[in-house]
Amino acid sequence: MRRFHPFLILFFVYLAALAGSHYWTARLRLLREPATTRPGLEVTADGETLLLSYQDWKPEGGAAPGKLPVLFLHGSPSSGSDDGAALARELVKRGHRVLSVDRPGYGESAAWAKDYSMEHQAALMLALLDKLKVPRAHAVAWSFSGGIALHMKNQAPDKVPSLTLLSAIGLQEGEGSGSYLFEHGKYAVAWLGTLALPELIPHYGALGTRAERSAFVCEFWESDQRKLRPILENLKDPVLIIHGMHDPLVPAWLAVRHHEMLAQSRLVMLDDSHFYPLGYGKEDSLAISAEEISQLADEHWRDRFVPETRNLAEGYEASAPIFGGLIKRGYHFWILSVFICAVLTLFFGGYGTLVTAVLTAFGYLDLGVGIFGALIGALLRRGFLYRSWHWRNLLPGLGAVVTLMAGAAIAGLAHFKWFGPYPSTASVSVSWLVVAALFTLPWQIHRLWRGGHHQRNRRLKLPPTTVTPGS
């Protein structure tokens, strides 16, 4: 009886699991439809008609006089309009009607769109306000949606008399490396990692639907943050900027830079991280944010708006990045950071990669810049060390870099679970060391096994195996 090779059996099991995963993921949206409770409207902008779902919170007895409706725009990636629920409850207490929209590709809105750019999404949000007969609204933009709110303000300034940038993006130099070209190179790689690769993994919906992943990548790929600078420079109406000092995704110095550019802006620096609008931060962060937003969204109070800085983060100094800004991400040309990372890995091997990974975990280096520089250093080191550029000699170095940098990236999120949403030096260090050790353990075991195997052969002086005729 013929026996199947174990790897062949595993391959067929993998194919069966992959087929089941695709079937289940394809039915996810259908399974959610019976439980749909959000209203939705078809809106048209720039020749495209899409269904946009939303949630609408209203105070009992209606909005208080003079209180503008608040439009909450979620970030990316996201759970959609649910992200605005915690803040909406606080604002409703203060007499505001709150609308939280599922942007295209998220929640129960249209799964696919022809255009995911910030400008197009801004036009869609304005069209939705028209459909809802909301003539004016205060826009609250979290994270990626900062660009959408700024374009809304630019396209229809009368409909958005004021806005709040809630840990939001803005200037190009605050996007990762600060370089438009380098960032879009990262998004091209991200396309493979978030769209193509998950299609080969039996994840059964754990990585979201392809439409959700597509929205995440495409809206970054199709948007140009360089266009936001002239909007910020020409903005004259009141702007509230609320940011967390420990934000690992949108650096706090970017909020300070926006505040310096906007003459009619108020900066509130919280002792918190990026996810406080979802209710994951300190107990008072959400209430403070809601109170500040409510004041600016009050037509009677807005005339008394005073531009100022309110620093609630003890010990924060916005103008003091590490080493005077030498390697703080976004401050200097990204090629300098790549060169430093490459030199560290080239001359110090794994120790240099370790330093690069630590700097990445602490947020002093963009993850893409750190990986790119360490990969260049690893390739050069392996090539010069073995005097061969064969892929088998280069692969171990690349694997070590990827595992270390992946450990740094995961550690940046792990400390939110282990130490709370506001990290400290100790929390980041401990979480990074644990995750990096787990990632590098297989490589170290393989290295020790190979070293022991070669030493045993040298000690025993085993002759090469020969085969004699007739044996």
Dump the DSSP string for 289-315.
HHHHHHHHTBHHHHTT----EEE-STT
Between vectors from CA 213 to CA 210 and to CA 215, what angle results, nearest 5°?
A: 110
pLDDT at 81: 93
The answer for residues whose C-beta is within 8 angstroms of residue 4's C-beta and 6 or more apart is: none
Residues 218, 343: one domain? Answer: no
Residues 307, 327: one domain? Answer: no
Residues 307, 337: one domain? Answer: no
Residues 216, 290: one domain? Answer: yes
Residues 349, 288: one domain? Answer: no
Can the peptide bond before residue 6 be classed as cis, meaning omega within 30 degrees of 0? Answer: no
pLDDT in single tens digits along all 471 residues of the chain: 556 667 777 888 888 888 888 888 777 656 555 455 788 999 999 999 999 999 999 998 888 788 999 999 999 988 899 999 999 999 999 999 999 999 999 988 998 999 999 999 999 999 999 999 999 999 999 999 999 999 999 999 999 999 999 999 999 988 888 889 999 998 888 787 777 777 888 877 777 777 778 888 899 999 999 999 999 999 999 999 999 988 878 888 899 999 999 989 999 999 888 889 988 878 889 999 999 999 999 877 766 777 877 777 665 554 433 333 333 444 457 888 889 889 988 888 777 877 887 777 666 778 788 888 888 888 888 777 666 666 565 565 566 566 655 655 555 555 444 444 444 444 555 555 555 555 555 555 655 555 555 555 555 555 554 444 444
In a domain, 386, yes or no: yes
pLDDT at 465: 46
In a domain, 11, yes or no: no
| Of the candidates 249, 227, 275, the residue with the CA atom closest to the CA atom of residue 117 | 227
Residues 166, 61: one domain? Answer: yes
Residues 157, 289: one domain? Answer: yes
* Distances 105 to 190, 381, 451 between C-alpha atoms, Å: 17, 43, 51
Cβ-contact 375, 401 below 8 angstroms: yes
**Domain containing residue 107: CATH number:** 3.40.50.1820
Structure tokens at 460: 């025993």
Between vectors from CA 293 to CA 287 and to CA 296, what angle results, nearest 5°?
A: 145
Residues 255, 374: one domain? Answer: no
Residue 109, SS3 per DSSP: coil
Q: Give how many domains the chain has, as a whole number.
A: 2
- Dihedral sign, CA of 79, 330, 293, 275? positive
Backbone angles phi, psi at 452, to 5 degrees: -65, -40
Backbone angles phi, psi at 188, to 5 degrees: -65, -40
Structure tokens at 365: 């280096």
Decide which of 277, 311, 345 is a domain's last residue: 311
Which residues partner with 45 through β-bridges? 48
In a domain, 129, yes or no: yes
Residues 349, 435: one domain? Answer: yes
In a domain, 378, yes or no: yes
In a domain, 467, yes or no: no
- Residue 240: which H helix or E strand, with range? strand 239-244
Decide which of 311, 341, 364 is a domain's last residue: 311
Residues 292, 339: one domain? Answer: no
In a domain, 458, yes or no: no
Q: Angle, to 10 degrees, between the axis of helix 367-386 and the axis of helix 391-419?
A: 150
Q: What does the alpha-carbon distance between residue 11 and residue 19 come to, in Å, rounded to a whole number?
A: 12
Can the peptide bond before residue 77 be classed as cis, meaning omega within 30 degrees of 0? Answer: yes
pLDDT at 391: 59
In a domain, 289, yes or no: yes
Decide which of 289, 311, 333 is a domain's last residue: 311
* Distances 250 to 11, 175, 281, 431 between C-alpha atoms, Å: 42, 8, 16, 21
Residues 257, 344: one domain? Answer: no
Structure tokens at 95: 């007499």
Residues 277, 390: one domain? Answer: no
What pairing do the DSSP bridges indicate for beta strands 40-45 and 48-57? antiparallel
- Domain span at 392: 322-448
Q: Whose structure tokens read 């629920």?
A: 85
In a domain, 7, yes or no: no
Q: What does the alpha-carbon distance between residue 156 and residue 159 come to, in Å, rounded to a whole number?
A: 6
pLDDT at 431: 53
DSSP state of 3: P
Burial (Cβ within 10 Å: 0-12, 13-18, ≥19) of residue 254: buried
pLDDT at 2: 59
